[in-house]
Amino acid sequence: MESIVSTFHIDWKIIIAQAVNFSIVFAVLYYYALKPLSKLMKEREDKISKGISDAKTNAEVLDKSVKEYENTLAKARAEANVLFQKGTKEAEKKKTEMLESAKSEAEAVIINAKKILEAEKIKIIEEAKKEIVSLAMIATEKILKAKIDANFDEKTAKELNNL
């Protein structure tokens, strides 16, 4: 062993001094570097795990919000469809009412026009009768002036009275 010590020039005092120096450096590094570093890493690990749990919670809330949004949207679409159907029915009803009203007004106008035409027709017929009677009277007077026959007078008078 002495040969090893002399070959490698090992001095026990230096080895012990280096061991004490190493222990001091190790203790200083442990208290000033390793401990704060492990504390920092622990805090970082806690932040990461909290972030992951928050992300999971946020994902659940987001899924819930999406479902609520879809439900609300479906309800809104259903309501819009109901309102549209109701509006369509009301428009159809109003259209039918307007058509019925227009038909009744048209029928009233036609009936009125027929009454007016009937009155005009009767008036024209009365005027035509008066005109025909007056023409017949004029013709009869001319005929009677031309032929005076008692028998003819009576026949003609009866026929004129029948008109």
* Two structure tokens written together for 131: 């005109």
Measure CA 107 to chain center.
38
pLDDT for position 85: 94
In contact, 156 and 144? CB cutoff 8 Å: yes
pLDDT at 120: 94
Count of beta carbons in the 10 Å neighbourhood of residue 156: 15
User: What secondary structure letter does DSSP report for 59?
Assistant: H
Radius of gyration of the chain (CA): 64
**H/E stretch holding 10:** none
Predicted structure pTM score? 0.41
In order along its 163 residues, the chain shows pLDDT tens digits of 677 767 777 778 888 999 999 999 999 999 998 888 999 999 999 999 999 999 999 999 999 999 999 999 999 999 999 999 999 999 999 999 999 999 999 999 999 999 999 999 999 999 998 888 888 888 877 776 655 555 566 666 676 666 6
CA dist 82 and 90 (Å) reads: 12
Give the pLDDT score at 91: 93
Residue 21: both structure tokens together: 């120096």
How far is it, in rounded angstroms, from Cα 153 to Cα 161? Answer: 12
